[in-house]
Amino acid sequence: MLRLPLDAFMASSTRPRLVENTFRLALTGTPGTGKTTIAALLSKEGFVIVTIEELAEIAGALGEVDPVDNAHPVDLDLLCDYLAETWESAPSSPILIDGHLSHHLPADAVVVLRCDPKTLRGRLENRGYSAAKTEGNLEWELLGGAWNEREGKAPWVEFDTSDESAEAIVADISKWISDGFKPAGPEAEIDWIARMDD
């Protein structure tokens, strides 16, 4: 996919900007939670979208396709070392990093998309995922996925995409950003295991 230079992208935009300050926002979550759909909508709000695969390829951190799960492994250490050098200053436009490993990168804030495992199963099966790949992703979602890998002090927030429209999620993300990335509070954390007990 070809992308315009950041300055050309923002100069060509006639829409009001979502944010005045620039930052890097990681958009993470289990495959099938809606990251790419949300990213596409946020691009219309002034975000430059970059995928973790694109970054890894530029950094020389993208491995060959794994025949077991048909995915490219990413050398996160190599990628983070590369980004530490290239991301020393703030971006010229707000950047959204789309990918289920993006929470490992040096982002200024993290959005975690979640989905009820029952709903997620259907989404993954519709994608043609193998039974093993589906179960692995469902387990990761059930156990909290990215939350268990949280590092650093960047603000995090999560949104349940099970029943909400993509537009409603984007509106919530926009509100969180415009509110200065304020934490939603511990009661806002999604716990699928606890919900199963209810």
Segment 44-60, tens digit of pLDDT: 999 999 999 999 999 99
Below-50 pLDDT ranges, the chain: 1-19
Determine the Cα–Cα distance for residues 56 and 64; give it in Å rounded to an integer. Answer: 12
What residue spans define the domains of the chain? Answer: 20-197
> Would you say domain 20-197 falls under CATH 3.40.50.300?
yes
| Alpha carbon distance 42, 47 (integer Å) | 6
Q: What is the pTM of this model?
A: 0.84
pLDDT score for 198: 59
Q: Specify the pLDDT at position 185.
A: 62
Label residues 9-42 b or e (16+ Cβ within 10 Å = b). bbeeeeeeebeeebbbbbbbbbbbbbbebbbebb
Match 């020393």 to its residue by tokens. 88
Residue 88 confidence (pLDDT): 87
Q: What is the pLDDT of residue 184?
A: 66
Q: In whole angstroms, what separates CA 4 from the centre of its chain?
A: 21
